[in-house]
Amino acid sequence: MLIYPEHRYIDLDRNGKQKSGIIPPNVVVGNAFNSFSFFLEAPRPISWEDGRDLEKVWKFYSLVRPDMLIYEGIEVDIVDFNGDIPIKRPHYIVEFKELENWWKRWRYLKDYKPLSGNEWRARWLKGLYEGLAEVLGVKEKELPSFSEGETKRLKEYKVIELYKAIYRPKKGMVISRVSVDITVKDDLGEGIILVDDVRFDYNKLKDIVDELTNTNSVENVDIRELAYKFALSKRDEFIAWLKSQGISLSL
């Protein structure tokens, strides 16, 4: 069942979704037993007003971005500046691959390194001085130094391991439209699921669905809570039934 968005039209774009300073989901689905919130190409930078805001928001500019984040339950905003990453930790991260031989490609990525206040100011001053020096034709002043994150050269299929190390989800997932060499599957680290040769057959995603739902079995469901929700969904009928039992109750 589609829980969010309320207008029941699924929007796969993130343009403008962070203007209010939050990161909302693209879609939330669920039933009586479990629900999941899906975020496509998040996190992205959110809006900010002053220097103090920008110092916090800057973390979003240096954070690597998986194709999809999945959270168990209903999450309407994942912004959280209390940890070492500026969002709540996802339960699953997903990468989608569609090109032939994609696993043979290389990717250059920098380690994620949260900036301290001094490092943030150093970067801001460096950009300001460099811009003024170019416009005014003057020599740049000596600027505060800061450390850059180490650049890594990774095989494309190893990127999911980097993402997993940063976000620390339950599982990392790679979904490939094409078949992948068996050596790639064997070389992926623990806690990563690779489903290949999916093409456009959603039945091939059964292992992914099973992984998402197997932790929320019927044994873990509060039957009384379900009965309460059902009663509220059938409010008039429930009140009529209560009256037939000699019970007067206002809901």
pLDDT of amino acid 178: 95
Sign, CA dihedral 65-67-69-75, equals positive
- The answer for 35, left when phi > 0, alpha when psi is -120 to 50, beta otherwise, is beta
Averaged pLDDT, 83-105: 92
How do residues 130-141 score in pLDDT, each as one tens digit?
Answer: 665 565 555 555
Triad 31, 33, 37: Cα angle to 5°: 60
Alpha helices in the chain (DSSP H): 51-62, 117-136, 159-167, 182-187, 206-213, 223-233, 235-244
pLDDT of amino acid 147: 55
Nearest to 46 by CA among 27, 63, 29, 66: 63
DSSP string, 92-104: EEEEEE-STTGGG
Which of 16-20, 123-127, 138-142 has the weakest average pLDDT?
A: 138-142
- For 238, the token pair is 């429930």
Mean pLDDT of the chain: 79
Instruction: Give the separation between CA 218 and CA 196, rounded to whole angstroms.
Output: 30
Burial (CB < 10 A; 0-12, 13-18, 19+), residue 88, is middle
pLDDT of amino acid 37: 94
- For 123, the token pair is 């970067």
How do residues 62-73 score in pLDDT, each as one tens digit?
Answer: 788 899 999 998
Contact, 50 vs 21, CB < 8 A?
no
How do residues 153-209 score in pLDDT, each as one tens digit?
Answer: 888 999 999 899 999 999 999 999 999 998 998 898 889 999 999 999 999 999 899
Q: How many CB atoms lie within 10 A of CB 173?
A: 26
- For 161, the token pair is 């391991």
How do residues 240-250 score in pLDDT, each as one tens digit?
Answer: 888 887 777 66
Domain limits, the chain = 2-112+155-222, 114-148, 223-251
Query: What is the chain's Cα-based Rg?
Result: 24
pTM of the model: 0.72
How do residues 201-239 score in pLDDT, each as one tens digit?
Answer: 999 999 899 888 876 555 555 667 667 777 777 778 888
